Structure formats: C-alpha cells, structure tokens
Amino acid sequence: MTAPAPSSGEHLPVRTAAVWAALDALAGSGTPLRVLDVGGGSGVFAVPLARLGHQVTVVDPSADALATLERRATTAGVGDRVRGLQGDGDLLHELPLAEGDSDGGYDLALCHAVLEVVDDPATTLGEITRALRPGGQVSVATANRAGAVLARALSGHPKEALALLEDRDPAPGRTRPARRRFAPDDLLALLRNAGLEPAEWRGVAVVSDLLDATSDADPEAVRRLELALAGTSPYRDVATGLHVLATRP
Ligand SMILES: C[S@@+](CC[C@H](N)C(=O)[O-])C[C@H]1O[C@@H](n2cnc3c(N)ncnc32)[C@H](O)[C@@H]1O
C-alpha cells in the first residue's frame, strides 16, 4: 500500500524543517513541477516530492544510490515519476536531461549537500543554472562553516575547530579531499556569479544537532523552533547547514 503523501515537511526529519518549509512554498501548490535533483542520492528529497505529484530527475554518480532510489520510489508507488540518471553535477550538459522536458528547462532544481564534494562548485552551479527555465529556482543546502567550527569545539576537538575557522583542512593527513564548508556570504557570491538571484539564506538544523540523542523533546515543538530560528540571527549563524533559494532571471 502507498503511504499518504506528505503535505509539508511535518513527516520528514525535523533537522531539515527549514528546507522543507521553503520547498513547500514552491512544490505544495498542486501544480506539477519538473524537478532536477543534482546529487539526489537515494531520494531523500526526490521521493517525497514525487509523492506530491512532481516529476523528478535525479542525477548522481553513485550506482548504489540510484538503485536505492529506484527501490524507494517503487515502494512509495511513484516509480513512474522518478527518473535516475548516473552522472556528474559538473557535466549536466552531457546528460539526456531534456528528455520529456521539451519547453526549455526545469522549474526547480535541488542541490543539497553536494557543493561540499564536487570538483568545482562554481561549475556545478553554472550547469544547474543552464538546466533551469528562466524564472526557475534552485534550492541549495550546504554545510555552514560556523556550525562546523562549533560542532568540532563542542565535541572536544579544539585544534580541528581552529583549522576550520581559519579555512584550513582539519585532517590534512587523510587521502580523501576535505569536505567544503561555506560561509553565507561566500555561498551567496557563488550563486550570483553563476547568474542566479539568491533570496535570503536560512539556517538548517539550528538546534536539532545540539539536542542530546536521548532528549524526549516533542519533535513538533522542535520543528516549530527550527522554523522560528532559521531566519533569525544570531541563531541561524551557527546552524549546521545553510539553505537558500535562488532564481534564474
Ligand atoms: C551527502 S549526499 C546528499 C544526498 C541528497 N542530496 C540529500 O540531501 O539527501 C551527497 C550526494 O552527492 C553525490 N555526488 C558526489 N559527487 C557528485 C558530483 N560530482 N555530482 C553530483 N553528485 C555527486 C553523492 O553520490 C551523494 O549521493
């Protein structure tokens, strides 16, 4: 049996409440949208959006993630509204994105937790901009450098916290490249340089990640608090993540 479609983020993880609130404003109107989820992985966002009636194309280099996406979409009864394409966010122009999208691009793109790991965030954002229709929007979520500094400090790693603060690699000895973190102004500049017009940024997981795992705080109350803090400084400044919607003019 197909589970009921979420009408908003209330059935979804509290820590991404601010992201879902922004997406709801775009995707909750009842008009089916063409959505491109770059680095959408196993469909944490794609499948709920498909359940709201949208047509979602997920681009991800991971075959495993795409296999999980397919299973998850089928289980949710939306296999016909989710398309997985194996590929790279830096090379969207090489993919058959236009299939089924004949009138000039996507209404909405997602780029969540991806700019941290791509080769070049500016290239990825440029590719996404070109995949949007004029007036289309991209939802960008990234790690927040200030939140990462505090998290390292509070977990007893002051040297790594200082390295992050100074934009140095907190673990220079490892083989994998460091995951990027973004300061809000740097993220906004990247979006503008890609030809996008960003709206105001919001903090994601301002308090959720600080809560003790054994906390019995009412999730609905935490969700309301997250939404209240997401747009409010100084709270949003130290959130785990940043979220911003940006429009292709
Ligand atoms: C942390 S996961 C985020 C998944 C999903 N966007 C979400 O928010 O739940 C990062 C995803 O980016 C994908 N990825 C890594 N390099 C990429 C690239 N160059 N282009 C597009 N996606 C990439 C990974 O395979 C992974 O699925």
CATH 3.40.50.620 fits 14-144+182-247, yes or no: no
**Ligand 1 centroid vs 93 CA: distance in angstroms?**
17
Residue 58 Cβ contacting ligand 1 at under 6 Å: no
- The span from the CA of 108 to the CA of 120, in Å, is 21
The answer to whether residue 103 scores a pLDDT higher than 80 is no
Long-range CB contact pairs, 181-187, < 8 A, 24+: 181/116, 181/142, 181/143, 181/144, 181/145, 181/148, 182/115, 182/116, 182/142, 182/143, 182/144, 182/145, 182/242, 183/144, 183/145, 183/146, 184/144, 184/237, 184/242, 187/115, 187/140, 187/142, 187/242, 187/244
What number does the ligand 1 atom closest to the CA of 110 have? 6
pLDDT value at residue 11: 55
- The rounded mean pLDDT for the chain is 91
The two tokens of residue 11 are 């059935």
Band of the pLDDT at 99, cuts 50, 70, 90? low
Q: Where are the domains of the chain?
A: 14-144+182-247, 145-180
The answer to whether residue 30 scores a pLDDT higher than 80 is yes
H or E element: which one contains 60? Answer: strand 55-60
How does strand 241-247 pair with strand 132-143?
Answer: antiparallel
Closest protein CA for atom 9 of ligand 1 = 44
Read off the pLDDT of each residue in 185-198 and give the average, rounded to a whole number: 98
3-state secondary structure of 165: helix
Closest CA to 132 of 112, 152, 106: 106
**All residues at 6 or more sequence positions from 123 whose CB lies less than 8 Å from its CB, including other chains:** 90
What number does the ligand 1 atom closest to the CA of 118 have? 19
Residue 46 Cβ contacting ligand 1 at under 6 Å: no
- The span from the CA of 192 to the CA of 180, in Å, is 19
Residue 88 Cβ contacting ligand 1 at under 6 Å: yes
The answer to whether residue 42 scores a pLDDT higher than 90 is yes
Beta bridge partners of 57: 36, 83
Residue 90 Cβ contacting ligand 1 at under 6 Å: yes
What number does the ligand 1 atom closest to the CA of 61 have? 25
Residue 41 Cβ contacting ligand 1 at under 6 Å: yes
Task: Find out whether 110 and 35 touch, Cβ atoms under 8 Å.
Answer: yes
pLDDT value at residue 3: 44
3-state secondary structure of 37: strand
Closest CA to 206 of 228, 234, 238: 238
The answer to whether residue 1 scores a pLDDT higher than 60 is no
Residue 65 Cβ contacting ligand 1 at under 6 Å: yes
Q: What helix, strand, coil percent values describe the chain, rounded to 5?
A: 40, 20, 40
Closest protein CA for atom 1 of ligand 1 = 113
Read off the pLDDT of each residue in 25-33 and give the average, rounded to a whole number: 91
Residue 89 Cβ contacting ligand 1 at under 6 Å: yes
3-state secondary structure of 193: helix
Closest CA to 181 of 233, 122, 117, 244: 117
Structure-token match 């709801």, residue found: 24
Record the pTM. 0.93
pLDDT value at residue 211: 86
The two tokens of residue 68 are 């999980």
